[in-house]
Structure formats: C-alpha cells, structure tokens
C-alpha cells in the first residue's frame, strides 16, 4: 500500500502546498480521500488521472477539502466520455454537494456536449452517503468509517482502509475522539491533520484562534498514536505550514509523546507499507 500526500496544505493559500487530499494505492485499487485545491495536478505528478480512480472518499464538506471536486468530476467525465461513473462516498450531505457542483458546472457541461460529438450526456456520478460505523469495499480494499469531532461541522467521518493485512487511517480534521481511536487502532499508517497550538495562539485575530477549537494539535496526534498503538504517525494539513528546516522541530514535539515512526513532508510525500 502506498499512501501519498497529494495535498498537505490548509485553507491558508500556499504556493508549495495543495489543498488537503490523500491518495491511497493498494494493489490495483486507487482511492482519493478529499479533493482540496490543486488535487488533479498533484495526482498527475504521480501518474494518476481522475479516470484511474476507483473511488473518492470525503471526510467532510469544509471548502478546503472539496473545492477541487469539480475538477475531479469534469476531468473524469471528459476522459471516460461518461462510460464509467465516478464513485464517491461521504457523509450525509455528500449527495447535495455533488448535485450543487453539477449545477455549478451546468453551463460548461452544455458547452462541451455541444462542441464534442463523443459527449452525449453529462458526468455520471454515483454517490453513496455513509453514517459512522458503516463499512464497504472498493474492489479488494475494505473500508470502515467512524464519526469524528469537528463541530460545528456535522456530520464528519474518518476512514480506515485495509488491504492485504495493512491498514491506513485517514481521519480528516478532528479533535481526539473515540472514532479516531477506533480507526487508528494498530494502524500501519495514521494520517492526521495537525496544528501547533503554541504557534497558532500567537496569530492575531479571533478567527485564527477559532481553529484551535476543532483541530488536533501535534501533541494530540502523537498522544492518540501512542494510545491506540499506531505504527506510524503522518502529519498533514499543518498550521502554520512549516518549512523543511522546521520539520525536525515538529517531529521532536511529537516524539515527546509517541515512540513510533513520525513523518512530515511536502506534497507528494509517499509512505509505502
């Protein structure tokens, strides 16, 4: 299994980090988790096109995690000429998100159908809405869900993907909670969005401080990894985004609480297990 950080950014725009997304390649199956800004470009950098995807899984509907879903849908449609539906799984509300995305694309879809003879219908998207504790398969990858804690955003879910005895937990934006513990328990790879609380507290403005209320800190993530026996902690969606020379400081902070492998990196960092 390859876990590829196709986007390590946050809502704060960055020239170096695409919006939040993670690509998982397990055997012959490829799954995209979330679709932040620039995701299709990052996918192409590792040789994966939207029409190569076996499925898209969505953790929640915050804009930084879904704002490029329209690019995934459109590119998949044009590449497949609507022969194969794009399959999307996500929490309650995902169907409405996709419906409104297609409505936003309505004019563009019409232009392309009028111009390109092979296109005779719009994008085919197959949406499955999930509740916490649901389970399903994408080919031979077994996936389970659990509720996460990102209020007032609701509902939010995380995912555990298992293939050939290897497990990856992709939990999205969340505080520590029982759902994260379930998903990350003894996982080979536990991917957690993180912030440095002591640094964010120095940011000016009330809105900046609000993000402390619903994101895990580096310490939180490390303590979770230790508590549930995860083998590797992978930090992503870092706020504030560190420079490479600051990575050792972030890793050292986590290592105070977790003795397993700790990884942090740029977009396209790949963890193979």
User: Is 18 in a helix, a strand, or coil?
Assistant: coil
For the residues of 128-195, what is the DSSP string, one character each? EEE-TT-EEEETTEEEEEEE-B-TTS-S-EEEEEEETTEEEEE--S-BS-HHHHHHHTT-SEEEEEEE
Is the bond preceding 271 in cis, omega lying within 30 degrees of 0?
no
64 a catalytic residue? yes
| Residue labelled with tokens 């950098």 | 45
Among 138, 134, 136, smallest CA distance to 147 is for 134
| Cis peptide bond upstream of 253, omega within 30 | no
Exactly one of 2, 34, 51, 64 is catalytic; name it. Answer: 64
Taking each helix axis from N to C end, the angle separating 106-115 and 94-104, rounded to the nearest 10 degrees, works out to 50
Q: How far apart are CA 175 and CA 149, in angstroms?
A: 5
- Please give the Cα distance from 218 to 41 (Å, whole number): 28
Query: How many whole angstroms separate alpha carbon 60 and alpha carbon 79?
Result: 27
Alpha-carbon torsion, ordered 215, 153, 19, 31, to 10 deg: 100
Separation CA 30–CA 6 (nearest Å): 13
Q: At what angle do helices 247-255 and 218-228 cross, to 10 degrees?
A: 50
Active site residues: 64
């Amino acid at each position: 299994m390859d876990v590829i950080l196709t986007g390590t950014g946050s809502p704060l725009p960055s020239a170096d980090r695409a919006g939040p997304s993670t690509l998982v390649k397990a055997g012959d199956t490829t799954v995209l988790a979330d679709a932040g800004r620039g995701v299709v470009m990052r996918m192409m950098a590792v040789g994966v096109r939207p029409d190569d995807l076996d499925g898209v899984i969505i953790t929640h509907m915050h804009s930084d995690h879904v704002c490029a879903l329209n690019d995934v849908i459109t590119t998949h449609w044009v590449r497949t000429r609507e022969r194969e539906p794009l399959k999307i799984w996500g929490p309650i509300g995902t169907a409405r998100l996709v419906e409104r995305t297609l409505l936003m694309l309505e004019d563009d879809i019409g232009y392309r159908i009028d111009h390109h003879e092979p296109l005779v219908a719009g994008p085919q998207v197959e949406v499955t809405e999930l509740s916490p504790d649901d389970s399903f398969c994408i080919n031979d990858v077994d996936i389970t869900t659990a509720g996460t804690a990102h209020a007032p955003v609701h509902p939010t879910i995380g995912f555990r993907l298992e293939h050939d005895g290897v497990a990856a937990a992709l939990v999205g934006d969340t505080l520590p909670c029982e759902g994260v513990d379930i998903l990350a328990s003894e996982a080979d790879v536990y991917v957690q969005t993180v912030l440095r609380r002591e640094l964010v507290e120095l940011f000016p403005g009330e809105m900046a401080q609000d993000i402390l209320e619903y994101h895990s800190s580096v310490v939180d993530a490390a303590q979770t990894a230790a508590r549930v026996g995860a083998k590797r902690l992978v930090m992503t969606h870092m706020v504030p985004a560190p420079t490479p020379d600051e990575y050792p400081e972030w890793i050292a902070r986590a290592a105070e609480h977790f003795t397993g492998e700790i990884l942090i990196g740029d977009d396209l960092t790949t963890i193979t297990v």
